[in-house]
Chain A
Amino acid sequence: MAEVVEPVRAEEIRAIPVRHPGRWVAGAVVVVLMAALTKSIATNPRFEWGVIGHYFLTSRVLHGLVVTLELTVLSMAVGIALGTVLAVMRLSPNPLVSGASWVYIWLFRGTPVLVQILFWFNIAALYPRFSIGIPFGPQFVHFSAAAAITPFVAGVLALGLNEGAYMAEIVRAGIISVEEGQTEAAQSLGMTRLLTMRRIVLPQAMRVIIPPTGNETISMLKTSSLVSVIAVTELLYTAQLIYAVNYRTIPLLLVVSIWYLVMTTVLSVGQYYLERHFGRGATRDTPETPAQRLRRTFQLRHEWS
């Protein structure tokens, strides 16, 4: 017979915590520097906070904002779709198919996106007319490049095609990260290659694909300002047009910066929830949302008091 072990009450530890004077000094330095910076921002009249407030919600700026968002969404959509196709091609057993994907990535990742933007803007100089049909055979639809490739379209094409090369590598890394056993299990159940990719591999690859894609989206939001060079009235070019007339350069650049910050912040929050969704099953517990964490913290406080 084993003895019944009485739980022994152990004495709780009450020790004097280690002091950290260094942390206090560093904290003080930060506070002083922040105060100096805040004072300069608040009191330097050349920031012209009034002008910033005036332009922040004008219809022209808001229109530029919408164009920036359109550029970002469309370019990312092109990039993600193209990147997925390129990644699957890259993993194809057919050397011509995987080679074509490699060449695409080499070309579009190897040249500056600004050059690509200018290139697409001037595509009419290279191919004045486009047509759709059978290669070397009859063509069905013709259209003129100058009419079809507006600056906005050129911007989306350049950003999207360039993004496709980066997304291809991201998607490929995601696909490779899924254990081979998953594919084998799916195959042993009679699932085709395509079904396995769609139902088993890609959903699990998402966990690896989402975080860098979020970064790419945030990066795209900012990179889209490059199309200001081809006169697309997105956020930055709109501001440039305004300050070209009234010379309020700094306040308008600040308006633009604040808007970019707002948008990237919103995107970061969205990314957090996406990651949470696709991380299901990967960890034992789904991580709490910040709101849940806050509520729990307050509940704990409440219990303690």
Chain B
Amino acid sequence: MELMVKAEQVHKRFGRLAVLKGVSLEVAPGEVVCLIGPSGSGKSTFLRCINHLEKIDAGRLWVDGRLVGYRQVGDKLYEQRDSEICRDRAQIGMVFQRFNLFGHMTALENVVEAPIHVKKVPRREAAEQARVLLGRVGLGDKLDSYPAQLSGGQQQRVAIARALAMKPKLMLFDEPTSALDPELVGEVLDVMKGLALDFNTTMIVVTHEMGFAREAADRVLMMDDGRIIESGTPGHFFADPREERTRQFLSAIL
């Protein structure tokens, strides 16, 4: 079976600061992987590398069998053109910590924007699909609300619907609940659980919500200092983590 994501020894530096020091990972289609780890461990950076929001400095990264950011011809690598990068990104959904909804557009307009302008879906069809998606995340009555009129949890659910509207092969979640009031975390996690369990979406989730990991994740990866130091089922992490660093971290967040 073709892997959805394959990373081989991915390195990333910001100036002199090495953020990723050789990350290798394989994610199968339909798999839900949670990335945990202290801040600064490189989780978010790795996620951003997967859809080429950051360029990697060494190693190789494939999504659905295609190299991210480059074209390989023989043993030569060519940088992808902007249009190719955009085409590949359109198949990867991303949900951000700060929601990043388009502030000048209503919920519905946010969701139809990319299907209409990137995928050239007819406006009416896009709107119909957007209504279904917004209904699915429980916001069928907020179609005409602007982001500023929505709570954080509602905004994040619109952001999820916006990403899903592109029918992505892979969904990336970058700390989707860290900017939310504690009371609103549940509604976003419920939507994500639905995606994972009912729709079999391939997901990589950077999160500290161990409850979510326990219920929805197939695998949990612990990152520290730019490397994956431990990998296992959620059960493994709860019952008997191997690394001392993992134990420390889990006892701090649980």
Contacts and interface: CB of A to CB of B under 8 A. Distances in A.
Contacts of B118: 189-191, 195
A179 B100 contact: yes
Interface string B84-102: 0011111111101010111
Q: Interface size bucket, B side?
A: 20 to 34
A204 B104 contact: yes
A187 B104 contact: no
Interface stretch (B2-10, B121-129, B143-151, B215-223): B143-151
B105 A281 contact: yes
Interface in A261-305: 278, 280-284
A182 interface: yes
A182 B162 CA distance: 13
Nearest to B94: A188
Nearest to A278: B104
Nearest to A191: B118
Interface residues of A, number: 24
A188 B103 contact: no
Contacts of B149: 284
Contact of A281 (B96, B114, B146, B159): B146
A204 B148 contact: no
Given A184-B53, A199-B117, A189 B163 contact: yes
A191 B114 contact: yes
B89 A189 contact: yes
Which of B93, B101, B103 has the largest number of chain A CB atoms within 10 A? B103
A205 to B, nearest CB: 10
30 contacts: A182-B102, A182-B103, A184-B53, A185-B96, A185-B159, A188-B51, A188-B92, A188-B163, A189-B90, A189-B162, A189-B163, A190-B86, A190-B87, A190-B88, A190-B89, A190-B114, A190-B166, A191-B118, A193-B82, A199-B113, A199-B117, A204-B103, A278-B104, A280-B104, A280-B146, A281-B103, A281-B106, A282-B103, A283-B148, A284-B149
